[in-house]
Structure 1
């Protein structure tokens, strides 16, 4: 037998203090232990009440677990809205269907008739759309070739002098990146056109040749040329492909040895001169450089030192450069100054006049409306507030100002009342304007637009109207505004353009055939049986598990002597058997088992039952009505699924127009519920039982809710067990008050005893003293 020692919380000192009073000094008695012993019977009453209360709480918890399991089963298998529900029509009338033409896709739902169809698509649907031309196929340098060539020569010469890597750029074409470098030897003596030829040679070597899209020959996907009007370098996509390319800089840290080249490039192109800021001893000084300074290989360090001496006179700072071109400035004690630079990171890409990441695609997030229109030589019309407007489908739309980003311009169009969506396709480098309404009802009309935006975007058409799909099914004609639609439980998808206006037009024809999908019903029933049996197991386990009398609820004193793990293990045992032989649960199981034995009357007056489709209840008394498909009945089950889906559907889903009443009072009400049960299928019958135990109907609560309630419901604090717990709690409080009063009375009595003993001791001492004298 499991045991736990129980001790009181008394103090075992013979001389103690209670409420500011000393006990046991005169008598030498352990007053606390004596008082605790005298109150043992009263304390036991409290412990007993607390244990009774704990058992009720555990019992309520067990009931609520059953309620939750019943409701979960009901939601998953007996109510509409769940894919596993036996109440849904699609469980019984599922079809597989196929189309003889791959350009017409079909799928059937529960409303499909299952009859073969002859389908003819006379016309497919379209959405009204206008598409512009290619927007930004070229990337142009900001410098003339003469200037950029000299910039590049400066970098290459410095790299050659100091033995560093030649200046280079990274070119990415359709996701493939290659680095192209330029040596001083290659650049010397080159003309503008010669530089473009050099770049093309390097591009061809890096990316190779491809056959042009029109088959006219081989080309590189990207090439360089010189604009004869501006004399600027231009990178372009070649070969008729939608090639995406970008130019990025090869990154590197500041090399002070390149200061001369950097300074020359800045001055040549009107850029800010490079500077070096030195912070030392609480001071910060900026060293500026120009082409008048000696920044040659032999003179750059002396120039830096000279400027340093001028700014930090008498500080003894010395500049030095390591093999990687890193500048260091230290004082005589080796203390290092802090260095920062500005305008010193000039890459080869900067030198040839391209921004880092330059590419042949429109960046709607950074490009402004004004800049975009200007790049297409279009001057927009603006009002007195600088606003630019567009007109689409006769709706005037505020696009923004010249400073508004294109992304915001597009957003303004999309949220307008014009009923269109504008979008940029980065792959094709085009902008499309599409009607939100598909079919013939959708239009896009920009004929009244004066903003210039759509001209800049390369729109050549000013209007478009969609068309409806026209389809005949077994000779019946239908019109739909989309190529994906549902007719009589079948979803159709037209995946090819069928246009009567095109030369050589042919309608799309197909034969659609249907086969019963028995797998869905078979799996649905098997899952239902498995879930039902799990529910029965859970309830049956509660009923058949007897309580272990060796594990009563722990008292607080007992818990104080145990670890949390020990308490948890004890409670696991102590909670068992709370619903042992519970009459309410036994009645629930009996009703559930009974209705599954019974047959259901079908629409034609015949009856059908689970037994007839190969499903029986277990013969074992321990299983308490669990469902099973025995090995010898599997063939019957398979045949029923294949041949009698309609009977199975009625067996499970038949319903009654009589409303459920879980608390009938009059003979008429009782009779109505009997009729309801006779008219219903198994799903409704099971659901009625679950509601009568774990649900609420017309203000009437199920019997388990009345007993234990459920969290989050009005029954949480309005149920029989809660009321019992409340009463016991009041009893416990009264017993505790009585214990406190009794304890104080005992201590008062011992206080009087202490006083009496002290007085007797004093008198005895006095007598002894007199006798001795």
Structure 2
């Protein structure tokens, strides 16, 4: 802001005069600011109100439309040590009989305590061969996901063996403190159990020495099943096919085509790179690099020196040759260190490019006879290619031969063992299904949990000869609380809407300017603004329309069967105009509600009807909620002036707020323009007076 010094000659209060002259323009600007402030307050008021309305709409009102929200059932069991029971809305009311005949168990193996062959402690790093005394053994794990073999190799340690067990589809760990393996199924139940068998004599030795061989029904059954297989039988062929995966000509052809095209793309990228001289072909350029690159560092041979270790000894490689390094300190003294480092980078870059070229050229050379090249130079998968067919046949034959050798070994091992070898101190719990009897019918499951006709049953303990009863009834309290919660949210909303709609008038109150606020205390300003804010939605037609919709829908009747019902049919009503507190004429009260002092003494009609005829209660409240939900949804529909799920004209208000910004800016410009105009006039007057005074002084001097 410019600093103006005026009235120095005339003695007039120029600022006050200018302020008075432009006061009408300032008043227009202030009125626009007040109107915009009031609009922003109204927007905030509407946002808060809209949040409350939408919260009710999408919350309790939405869920109250569906009968499943009311169809609550409660179940109890006569002895909860045997079972836990809960009921869904579809459960049948009444009493049912339950027996728990068997609990589900998870297949579990606690290994025997083991030591290394030399008697030392076994750790995760201990070689398996140091425990079992042999290598090249093979064992098989059979789980619900299939059969997987584990080969015992000379370099495998305990931790790696545990990883192989996990890969086979079980949980596994080794406890170093107790020197035992622990193995279990991933899930409970008979079908999820595992079997652990030897594929050969070394495999059997490994199971025993590792403390994980047991004589149990599951493993014995697996040995017996394998021993019964005869070569050429359907069972044998099925087992064999399950032990190896065949490759197909289609997949193999696609694999070769993908490899060819990936390599070609990389070579094409090299050819398109603009960092090299394209007067040569890519082949010529790479050939040139292969000739030049080995000699790039020859210029720095005089800086080579033998590499020595920390003790001053000459370092040699695995072939006994002396290792050299470059003396960069000497290079720096001679001023060639930067050149050398650039040459090193150049050599590395060339070698990288050469490697990419050679690697991908080799891929193309190796795959070209297995693909058909299209017009675009890309490889096309060709499953009929003779080379493909030959490879597929050879690979499948090789896989089948290996699988057959393993299967024959397993059969021979199973025939010799048949589950009769001595145990290794391991304890085995076989997986089994649970079994219950409900109303005389038998049910089994791989876990102890059942979902039967709306009941969720968790078996806890075998009942033996005992029997427990399950009693299922309508959850009167649950349905009552659902309705009470719905009405509470409705009451809170309708009361807040009534308060806003029936607010006292704030006629004569407008938002304060900064000068007006300075003349009042903070408390006075707060009360002044609250007076305006509280009245912003007073008698608002949009809010009144929403209020009427809510009250009218709640007062409606709905037919259930041949009879019409209203809220009063269930002992739910307002207190009436003369008995209701201010702004609570639309609030509903439930007769007999112990939490409502106004109606707690009345007969609890709602609870009685829920207990005697829950279907009627549920049907009525579902219809009522659906009607109110539909009508409120229409009020919240998107339009040219309002957004979706918005009661008020938020779009229009946002536009109005932006328009006020423009008008206020224009009004401020007008105030400034007129201020500058009047100040220029007064300044001219001051200048004229100053000249006149100077002339008068001169004349006075002449005459004196």
Q: Pick the TM interval, shorter chain.
A: 0.5 to 0.7
Is residue 577 from structure 1 mapped to residue 535 from structure 2 by the alignment? yes
Distance 1:100 1:760 in 2: 116
Unpaired runs of 5+ residues, structure 2, are 220-428, 592-598
Rate the CA distance shift 1:392–1:566 in 2: closer, same or farther, 3 A: farther
CA offsets per residue over residues 706-732 of structure 1, 9 Å max, x none? 6343xxxxxxxxx22222222222221
Rate the CA distance shift 1:130–1:566 in 2: closer, same or farther, 3 A: farther
2:109 to 111, 116, 130: 130
Distance 1:389 1:470 in 2: 33
Residue in structure 2 matched with residue 555 of structure 1 by the alignment: 513
Displacement of 1:43 in angstroms is 0.7
Residue in structure 1 matched with residue 603 of structure 2 by the alignment: 634
Is residue 106 from structure 1 mapped to residue 85 from structure 2 by the alignment? yes
SS in 2 for 1:118: strand
CA contact (8 A) 1:615 1:629 kept: yes
Residue in structure 2 matched with residue 41 of structure 1 by the alignment: 24
Is residue 493 from structure 1 mapped to residue 458 from structure 2 by the alignment? yes
2:631 to 689, 696, 703: 689
Rate the CA distance shift 1:79–1:639 in 2: closer, same or farther, 3 A: same
Residue in structure 2 matched with residue 473 of structure 1 by the alignment: 438
CA contact (8 A) 1:484 1:492 kept: yes
CA contact (8 A) 1:692 1:701 kept: no
CA contact (8 A) 1:60 1:708 kept: no
| Aligned pairs (5 A) from 1:628-707 | 628-630=589-591, 631=599, 633-653=602-622, 681-694=623-636, 696=638, 705=646, 707=648
CA contact (8 A) 1:370 1:402 kept: no
Displacement of 1:628 in angstroms is 0.8
Distance 1:651 1:425 in 2: 64
Residue in structure 1 matched with residue 448 of structure 2 by the alignment: 483
Displacement of 1:546 in angstroms is 1.8
Rate the CA distance shift 1:561–1:465 in 2: closer, same or farther, 3 A: farther
Rate the CA distance shift 1:51–1:402 in 2: closer, same or farther, 3 A: farther
Is residue 766 from structure 1 mapped to residue 691 from structure 2 by the alignment? no
Displacement of 1:397 in angstroms is 6.9
Of 626-635 and 539-548, more deviation after overlay is shown by: 626-635
1:436 to 182, 186, 201: 186
Q: Report 1 or 2 for greater relative contact order, CA contacts < 8 Å, sequence distance ≥ 6.
A: 2
Displacement of 1:617 in angstroms is 2.1
Residue in structure 1 matched with residue 295 of structure 2 by the alignment: none
Distance 2:573 2:607 in 1: 14
| Aligned pairs (5 A) from 1:269-308 | none
Displacement of 1:766 in angstroms is 1.6
Is residue 28 from structure 1 mapped to residue 11 from structure 2 by the alignment? yes
SS in 1 for 2:187: coil
Residue in structure 2 matched with residue 623 of structure 1 by the alignment: 584
Residue in structure 1 matched with residue 401 of structure 2 by the alignment: none
Distance 2:702 2:152 in 1: 121
Distance 1:725 1:461 in 2: 85
Is residue 93 from structure 1 mapped to residue 75 from structure 2 by the alignment? no
TM-score where L is the length of structure 1: 0.54
Rate the CA distance shift 1:128–1:615 in 2: closer, same or farther, 3 A: same
Residue in structure 1 matched with residue 397 of structure 2 by the alignment: none
Of 448-457 and 466-475, more deviation after overlay is shown by: 448-457
Rate the CA distance shift 1:108–1:391 in 2: closer, same or farther, 3 A: closer
CA contact (8 A) 2:123 2:176 kept: no
Is residue 599 from structure 1 mapped to residue 557 from structure 2 by the alignment? yes
| Aligned pairs (5 A) from 1:347-496 | 368-371=123-126, 377-378=131-132, 381=135, 393=143, 394-395=147-148, 406=159, 413-414=165-166, 416=167, 418-422=168-172, 431-448=181-198, 455-456=209-210, 460=214, 463=219, 466-496=431-461
Displacement of 1:638 in angstroms is 2.7
Residue in structure 2 matched with residue 610 of structure 1 by the alignment: 567
Is residue 735 from structure 1 mapped to residue 667 from structure 2 by the alignment? yes
Distance 2:154 2:537 in 1: 76
TM-score where L is the length of structure 2: 0.59
Q: Which structure's residues are more often helix, by fraction?
A: 2
CA offsets per residue over residues 384-432 of structure 1, 9 Å max, x none? xxxx9996643357999989895x9757754x3x332235789999653
Rate the CA distance shift 1:107–1:26 in 2: closer, same or farther, 3 A: same
Of 23-32 and 507-516, more deviation after overlay is shown by: 507-516
Q: Would you say how many aligned residue pairs link Structure 1 and Structure 2?
A: 472
Distance 1:763 1:750 in 2: 20
SS in 2 for 1:443: coil
CA contact (8 A) 1:548 1:573 kept: yes
Displacement of 1:46 in angstroms is 0.9
Distance 2:141 2:619 in 1: 60
CA contact (8 A) 2:100 2:462 kept: no
Distance 2:525 2:213 in 1: 79
Q: CA RMSD in A?
A: 4.0
Distance 2:153 2:487 in 1: 65
CA offsets per residue over residues 155-192 of structure 1, 9 Å max, x none? xxxxxxxxxxxxxxxxxxxxxxxxxxxxxxxxxxxxxx
Distance 1:626 1:607 in 2: 22
CA contact (8 A) 2:141 2:196 kept: yes
Residue in structure 2 matched with residue 62 of structure 1 by the alignment: 45
Rate the CA distance shift 1:572–1:382 in 2: closer, same or farther, 3 A: farther
CA contact (8 A) 1:121 1:472 kept: yes
Unpaired runs of 5+ residues, structure 1, are 1-17, 137-228, 233-361, 499-505, 654-680, 710-718
Displacement of 1:371 in angstroms is 3.8
CA contact (8 A) 1:98 1:514 kept: no
Distance 2:21 2:151 in 1: 92
